């Protein structure tokens, strides 16, 4: 059995016997202990040397940005991460005053979320970099399909709720970028977000669909009482935080219900 399948097996097993969150809550921490995103090699004896190289590379890129005056000591840390990523990927604009692209806003949202989870700046950057690369590469074709999948599964779970969204012309105006491009960064609190991102990192971006569906189901009464697309969207962009853990647990149940026991189901 591969390490990937073992991780998913453990997750399913723990959930079946009632121990939710055992697998998910340490997800980002273990990113630095495996080769899932190319952060470290599979041989643990090489980790110290690789981390030294990663730190040197981090310092070199940061120094280059300081030399060309793209960043300074006053630059917010998440913006430093963005400029580093842009420089490494050949997308650094000619001036730091140029307006940010939509993909830059996505990066910053993810960076802010990871910054709350990881203290070390070098580790933080490499996790952000690898997570964003996974979204841009592995899930490049899958992510644009998620709004349609959301409509499909919401119809199966509550067709009346879906009809209400259509009647209000809200379906096309839901916060899909927040849900599917930012992977709920800025929407869910850290503990809930880690559980969702664990599934994304492990190989399935479809979990994002079921989190979105469960948000609608959880707040059905509130959404049904709203009669305009603008009001519905505004509410969904700022949902109450106290229900987040329950929403994620129910979303994982939905994921299993509709997809069986998914292993790397994109």
**pLDDT digits 0-9 by tens, 37-94:** 555 666 666 778 888 999 999 999 999 999 999 999 999 999 999 999 999 999 999 9
Per residue in 159-200, pLDDT (tens digit) is 999 999 999 999 999 999 999 999 999 999 999 999 999 999
Helices (H) and strands (E) in the chain, counts: 14, 0
- Average pLDDT along the chain: 87
Q: Give the C-alpha distances (Å, rounded to integers) separating 163 from 114, 229, 266.
A: 36, 13, 27
Q: How many CB atoms within 10 Å of residue 144? A: 12
Q: Given this model, what pLDDT does residue 260 score?
A: 78
Global pTM value: 0.81
CA torsion angle for 65, 67, 73, 77 (degrees, to 10)?
Answer: 10
Contact 197, 131 (CB under 8 A): yes
Q: How many CB atoms within 10 Å of residue 241? A: 11
CATH number given to 140-261: 1.10.472.80
CATH number given to 17-138: 1.10.8.680
Q: How many CB atoms within 10 Å of residue 14? A: 15
Rounded to 10 deg, the angle between the 77-88 and 47-67 helix axes is 100
- What is the domain partition of the chain in residue ranges? 17-138, 140-261
Q: Given this model, what pLDDT does residue 36 score?
A: 47
């Amino acid at each position: 059995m591969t390490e990937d399948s073992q991780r998913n097996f453990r997750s399913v097993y723990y959930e079946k016997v009632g121990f939710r969150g055992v697998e998910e809550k340490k997800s980002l921490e273990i990113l630095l202990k495996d080769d899932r995103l190319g952060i470290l090699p599979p041989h643990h004896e090489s980790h110290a040397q690789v981390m030294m190289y990663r730190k040197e590379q981090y310092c070199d890129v940061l120094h280059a940005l300081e030399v060309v005056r793209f960043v300074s000591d006053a630059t917010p840390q998440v913006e430093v991460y963005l400029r580093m990523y842009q420089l490494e990927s050949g997308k650094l604009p000619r001036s730091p005053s140029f307006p940010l692209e939509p993909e830059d806003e996505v990066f910053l949202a993810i960076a802010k979320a990871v910054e709350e989870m990881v203290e070390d700046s070098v580790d933080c950057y490499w996790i952000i970099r690898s997570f964003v690369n996974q979204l841009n590469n592995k899930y490049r074709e899958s992510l644009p399909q998620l709004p349609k999948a959301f409509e499909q599964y919401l119809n199966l779970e509550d067709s009346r709720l879906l009809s209400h969204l259509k009647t209000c012309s809200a379906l096309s105006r839901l916060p899909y970028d927040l849900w599917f491009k930012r992977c709920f960064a800025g929407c869910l609190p850290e503990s809930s977000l880690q559980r969702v991102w664990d599934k994304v990192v492990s190989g399935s971006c479809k979990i994002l669909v079921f989190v979105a569906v469960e948000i609608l189901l959880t707040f059905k009464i509130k959404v049904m009482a709203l009669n305009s697309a603008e009001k519905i969207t505004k509410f969904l962009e700022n949902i109450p935080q106290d229900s987040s853990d329950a929403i994620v647990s129910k979303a994982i149940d939905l994921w299993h219900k509709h997809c069986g026991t998914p292993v790397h189901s994109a």
